Amino acid sequence: KNQVEQSPQSLIILEGKNCTLQCNYTVSPFSNLRWYKQDTGRGPVSLTIMTFSENTKSNGRYTATLDADTKQSSLHITASQLSDSASYICVVIFTSGTYKYIFGTGTRLKVLA
């Protein structure tokens, strides 16, 4: 069954600290993997997109990694800011005629001053 699991479920860190969020998936055939940021009550906004051949991709203070062999991805946030408080969702896209989005359970991050 195509599934995307994330850990931790929630995380609290102090402003300025770094953190790493994990994503494991069992999705096939794999097209690409995306990390989204979702503010409370808002729609998901794309942070990074990673294809099968990419190991690392950065977008400002966000760095995503992908290990397609072990089917794991991580999102590292550097020098966290209060505005980083949100849910971070790992989404794996696979193709089965059309492109299908499989959403992870999300990690709720809270950054404290």
Stretch of residues binding other proteins (CB under 8 A), selected from 21-29, 42-50, 57-65, 76-84: 42-50
Does the footprint of other proteins cover residue 98 (CB under 8 A)? Answer: yes
Q: How many residues bind other proteins (CB under 8 A)?
A: 20
In sequence order, which residues have a C-beta less than 8 Å from that of residue 58 and are 6 or more positions away?
Answer: 48, 64
Residue from the set 17, 42, 61, 110 that interacts with other proteins by CB under 8 A: 42
Stretch of residues binding other proteins (CB under 8 A), selected from 10-18, 55-63, 65-73, 91-99: 91-99
Report the distance separating Cα 55 and Cα 51, nearest Å: 8
